[in-house]
């Protein structure tokens, strides 16, 4: 039952892919069905996540990786997620424009997504785009995401190989990075390595990573690049390939692919539930009654949420408002729940 | 049925408040019950949200507002939420230390919360702390949150008066701020007003805000401060009080209070649902089966999420995976759902 647009995208036709993306944005049901067909046919691309603090040079590095991969004859897709911050974002447009030098290369497909307003940022549209690029036959898909909020961490569940990019002289305290970011990288990249403080950063990072157990048969390397001039970027791509071989060797490739599908599933589920709650509370009479009780402080938000959960869910939720699933850093004691 | 700890906190005893916060973190059920009692007795404090980009001087400004409010004999609580970014955060600790000069003043209660790992940042622990400070009889509660990710926007649903703080020379493009941040401020503050570019920033901001309709009988002012020296901060506090009077006059105070309770309710509901999903998928046999089907691409994350939603919820979800509730910026067309 492959529709025409699906066949065209499977052949790698850019115009059809662009149309599908537009139709998905417009929430046209047939587009959703087409994506489902594409999903069944996807699963071959090597997905490379790039994360790191603003200004580390992620976009420039992505651009260089595209260049190196194209030289080796690979088809490449790029998904760039803008910072979620309503404040920063100044340099982003310039970076995108820089990457446009690949725009005339039909083997390169670049899509920028604004994460603004989205919860998590790396959400549904990223998943859609990656699925489509994968089905188009891209060998590599680069997923570039600003290391703001949860995005930097979420990229770990959305890629086979995670590059964490840092640069010297940004005042990044490696200590501060320890929380989270030192666990997600498969390859650490010190960009702007011609900067005088790059050795210092490499040393601190090396110390911070010291003693970490190899994961999936892979010991995390620290590489140096100067993306602006292209220095070290071809070597970086080689190490990315090595990581793939290590994953294959350790039988971890499939597990990471499944993990990506699972992350997407969990996120879609949350989105669906959120939409459901909003719908209920906009139109439901019960919710209005509840809000009245809240206004008079006859009930409190906790009790109200508990009652509502019981009403919405078929099964009774197990300690639904325990901090589990919320913020692990707040959980100091046992799991007694409420 | 007021327990001893509740009575003590209602009298404003700091040690009891600190113990309750600890017990809440440890998820002790009696602590939760105590907070519910406190919630019923709270509702008098004026909650002031402070948001803005990193480096704008939010903490210093908060510190000065505490000083000014103390001079006027007000009891003050401060809740400071650290940036969610795993990267930045360098200056934060220093800011906190600066504020510690109020730590020996028993009429000032300061609590810093790490948002790291939390979805949204301004979550449950913020709500708990604000409720407790309110019940303790604090006249003002300052909720300071880094303008990273969604936090800056969420503060709008968690405060009576929202201050948006900016400073010149940060390369902030007012155009970029337009998305979201220009709708949430009740008072705009240009901090570091001795900087040569502060006039320019004031003009751009003024233009951006021009023509905005008064909200709740209040036309948004732009104030200038130099928080480091204290310049303009006493005036700022006066304008904060004026805003309260305007809200009272327009009958908007109660509405904002209810809106805050409602935001807390919605967030708790989401947290509960998220915990429920995680629980189901960790231990449920059905979820395991689903993941198997995902691995073999016999199903896709969308279909899997849809099926699961139907199984979890009593009512059938209305277009559960439509982009509604997800990312409005992606929604260009109609609301056809899937």
3-state helix, strand, coil in chain A (%, to 5): 50, 10, 35
Chain B residues close to A126, C-beta within 8 Å: none
Is pLDDT at A311 greater than 80 in this prediction? yes
Mutate to test the interface with B, among A30, A123, A268 (most CBs of B within 10 A): A268
CB contact under 8 A, B311 and A306: no
Q: What phi and psi values does residue A164 have, to the nearest 5 degrees?
A: -105, 120
Q: How many CB atoms lie within 10 A of CB A293?
A: 15
Closest CA to B129 of B140, B107, B113: B113
Q: A202: which residues sit within 8 A by CB, 6+ positions away?
A: A190, A222, A224
What's the token pair of residue B331?
């929604």
Span B42-250 CATH architecture: 3-Layer(aba) Sandwich (3.40)
Question: What is A43-252's CATH superfamily?
Answer: P-loop containing nucleotide triphosphate hydrolases (3.40.50.300)
Task: Give the pLDDT score at A234.
Answer: 96
Cβ contact B39:B135 at 8 Å: yes
- What is the rounded CA–CA span in Å between residue B148 and residue B54? 8
- What is the rounded CA–CA span in Å between residue A124 and residue A39? 14
pLDDT tier at A179, thresholds 50, 70, 90: very low
Task: Give the pLDDT score at A94.
Answer: 43
Q: Which residues pair with A113 in a beta bridge?
A: A81
Q: Which residues pair with B313 in a beta bridge?
A: A313
Among candidates A294, A328, A332 on the partner chain, residue whose Cβ is nearest the Cβ of B117? A328
DSSP for residue A166:
E
Pairs across A and B, CB distance < 8 A? 366
Closest CA to A329 of B48, B78, B37, B89: B89
- What is the rounded CA–CA span in Å between residue B14 and residue B235? 29
Where in B202-260 does DSSP place strands (E)? 222-224
- What is the rounded CA–CA span in Å between residue A318 and residue A308? 14
User: Average pLDDT in the A106-112 region?
Assistant: 78
- Arithmetic mean of pLDDT over chain A: 79
- What is the rounded CA–CA span in Å between residue B236 and residue B58? 13
What are the sequence ranges of the domains in chain B? 1-40, 42-250, 259-316
Mean pLDDT by 10 residues, chain B (338 residues): 87 92 86 94 95 82 94 92 45 49 76 55 76 96 73 76 86 51 87 89 87 88 94 97 97 92 85 78 80 90 88 65 39 32
Chain B residues close to A35, C-beta within 8 Å: 300, 302
CB contact under 8 A, A26 and B334: yes
Q: H or E segment at B187?
A: strand B187-190
- What is the rounded CA–CA span in Å between residue A80 and residue A72? 22
CB contact under 8 A, B329 and A254: no
Q: H or E segment at A143?
A: strand A140-145
Cβ contact B30:B23 at 8 Å: yes
3-class DSSP string for B260-287: HHHHHHHHHHHHHHHHHHHHHHHHCHHH
- What is the rounded CA–CA span in Å between residue B117 and residue A188? 21
CB contact under 8 A, A325 and B275: yes
Where in B10-118 does DSSP place strands (E)? 46-51, 76-81, 108-113
Higher pLDDT, A265 or A176: A265
The DSSP annotation for B247-263 comes to HHHTT-HHHHHHHHHHH
Strands of the sheet containing B140-145, edge to edge, are B108-113, B76-81, B140-145, B46-51, B161-166, B187-190, B222-224
CB contact under 8 A, A300 and B36: yes
Among candidates B27, B116, B297 on the partner chain, residue whose Cβ is nearest the Cβ of A323? B27
Among candidates B35, B269, B277 on the partner chain, residue whose Cβ is nearest the Cβ of A277? B269
- What is the rounded CA–CA span in Å between residue A32 and residue A130? 14
Nearest-Cα distance to chain A for B40, in Å, is 5
- What is the rounded CA–CA span in Å between residue A119 and residue B52? 19
User: Average pLDDT in the A156-164 region?
Assistant: 90
Higher pLDDT, A210 or B324: A210
CB contact under 8 A, B320 and A276: yes
Nearest-Cα distance to chain A for B71, in Å, is 32
Is pLDDT at A212 greater than 60 in this prediction? yes
SS3 B148: coil
Task: Give the pLDDT score at A168.
Answer: 86
Task: Give the pLDDT score at A204.
Answer: 86
- Is ipTM strictly over 0.85? no
Closest CA to B52 of B135, B165, B158: B165
Among candidates B115, B275, B291 on the partner chain, residue whose Cβ is nearest the Cβ of A258? B291
Task: Give the pLDDT score at B46.
Answer: 98
- What is the rounded CA–CA span in Å between residue A262 and residue A254? 12
Q: B21: which residues sit within 8 A by CB, 6+ positions away?
A: B111, B128, B129, B132
Task: Give the pLDDT score at A156.
Answer: 78
SS3 B2: coil
Q: What phi and psi values does residue B167 have, to the nearest 5 degrees?
A: -140, 150
What's the token pair of residue B166?
């900016």
Instruction: Kindly identify which residue of chain A lies nearest to residue B320, measuring between CA atoms.
Output: A272
Chain A residues close to B117, C-beta within 8 Å: 179-180, 327-329
Chain B residues close to A271, C-beta within 8 Å: 321, 325-326
- Ranking A106-115, A243-252, B287-296 by mean pLDDT, the lowest is A106-115
Cβ contact A40:A135 at 8 Å: no
Higher pLDDT, A156 or A37: A37
Residue A257 vs residues A43, A45, A46, A203, B297: alpha-carbon distances, Å: 8, 10, 9, 33, 11
Task: Give the pLDDT score at A57.
Answer: 86
Is pLDDT at A266 greater than 90 in this prediction? no
User: Average pLDDT in the A181-208 region?
Assistant: 88
Task: Give the pLDDT score at B151.
Answer: 55
DSSP for residue A140:
E
Among candidates A177, A268, A320 on the partner chain, residue whose Cβ is nearest the Cβ of B87? A177
Per-residue pLDDT of B182-227, as tens digits, reads: 778 999 999 999 888 899 889 988 888 887 888 898 999 999 999 9
Residue B310 vs residues A22, A276, A308, A313, B292: alpha-carbon distances, Å: 28, 11, 17, 10, 19
- What is the rounded CA–CA span in Å between residue A293 and residue A298? 5
Chain B residues close to A127, C-beta within 8 Å: 301
Residue B250 vs residues B12, B44, B170: alpha-carbon distances, Å: 31, 18, 36
CB contact under 8 A, A27 and B335: yes
Task: Give the pLDDT score at A87.
Answer: 36
Mutate to test the interface with A, among B327, B328, B332 (most CBs of A within 10 A): B327
Nearest-Cα distance to chain B for A148, in Å, is 5
What's the token pair of residue A176?
């501060």
Chain B residues close to A172, C-beta within 8 Å: 87-88, 90
Q: Which residues pair with B215 in a beta bridge?
A: B218
- What is the rounded CA–CA span in Å between residue B165 and residue B237? 14
- Arithmetic mean of pLDDT over chain B: 79
Task: Give the pLDDT score at B117.
Answer: 45
Instruction: Kindly identify which residue of chain B lies nearest to residue A301, measuring between CA atoms.
Output: B265
HSE, CB side, 13 Å, CA atoms: give it for residue B42: 34
Number of H helices, E strands in chain A: 14, 7
CB contact under 8 A, B269 and A305: yes
Beta pairing class for A222-224 and A140-145:
unpaired
- What is the rounded CA–CA span in Å between residue A78 and residue B153? 29
Number of residues in chain A = 338
CB contact under 8 A, B53 and A88: yes
Per-residue pLDDT of A124-149, as tens digits, reads: 788 899 999 999 999 999 998 865 44
Nearest-Cα distance to chain A for B108, in Å, is 23
Task: Give the pLDDT score at A307.
Answer: 87
Nearest-Cα distance to chain A for B115, in Å, is 8
Distance of CA B164 to the CA centre of its chain: 12
User: Average pLDDT in the A71-97 region?
Assistant: 62
- What is the rounded CA–CA span in Å between residue B141 and residue B49? 8
CB contact under 8 A, B152 and A86: yes
Chain A residues close to B259, C-beta within 8 Å: none
- Ranking A223-237, A321-335, B60-74, B95-109 by mean pLDDT, the lowest is A321-335
Nearest-Cα distance to chain A for B76, in Å, is 23
Chain B residues close to A324, C-beta within 8 Å: 275, 278-279
Number of residues in chain B = 338
Q: What torsion, rounded to 10 degrees, do the Cα atoms A63, A68, A72, A78 define? A: -20
HSE, CB side, 13 Å, CA atoms: give it for residue B198: 18
CB contact under 8 A, A28 and B314: no
CB contact under 8 A, B29 and A336: yes
């Amino acid at each position: 039952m492959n529709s025409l647009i699906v066949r065209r995208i499977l052949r790698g036709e850019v115009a059809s892919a662009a149309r599908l993306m537009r139709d998905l944005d417009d929430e046209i049901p047939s587009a959703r069905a087409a994506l489902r067909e594409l999903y069944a046919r996807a699963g071959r691309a090597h997905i490379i996540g790039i994360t790191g603090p603003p200004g580390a040079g992620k976009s420039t590095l992505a651009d260089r990786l595209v260049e190196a991969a194209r030289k080796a004859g690979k088809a490449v897709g790029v998904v760039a997620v803008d910072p979620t911050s309503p404040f920063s974002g100044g340099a982003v447009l310039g970076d995108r424009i820089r990457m446009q030098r690949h725009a005339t290369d039909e083997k390169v497909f670049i899509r920028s997504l604004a994460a603004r307003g989205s919860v998590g940022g790396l959400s549904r549209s990223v998943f859609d785009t990656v699925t489509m690029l994968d089905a188009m036959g891209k060998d590599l898909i680069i997923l570039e995401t600003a290391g703001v909020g949860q995005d930097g961490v979420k990229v770990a569940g959305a890629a086979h190989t995670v590059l964490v990019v840092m640069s010297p002289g940004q005042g990044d305290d490696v200590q501060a990075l320890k929380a989270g970011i030192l666990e997600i990288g498969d390859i650490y990249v010190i960009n702007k390595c011609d900067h005088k403080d790059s050795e210092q950063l490499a040393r601190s990072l090396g110390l911070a990573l010291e003693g970490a157990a190899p994961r999936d048969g892979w010991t995390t390397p620290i590489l140096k690049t100067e993306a602006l001039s292209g220095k070290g970027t071809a070597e970086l791509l080689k190490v990315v390939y090595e990581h793939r071989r290590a994953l294959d060797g350790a039988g971890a490739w499939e597990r990471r692919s499944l993990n990506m599908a699972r992350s997407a599933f969990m996120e879609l589920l949350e989105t669906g539930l959120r939409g459901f709650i909003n719908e209920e509370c906009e139109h439901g009479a019960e919710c209005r009654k509840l809000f009245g009780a809240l206004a008079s402080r006859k009930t409190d938000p906790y009790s109200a949420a508990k009652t509502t959960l019981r009403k919405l869910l078929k099964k009774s939720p197990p300690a639904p408002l325990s901090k589990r699933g919320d913020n692990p850093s707040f959980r100091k004691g046992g799991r007694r729940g409420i």
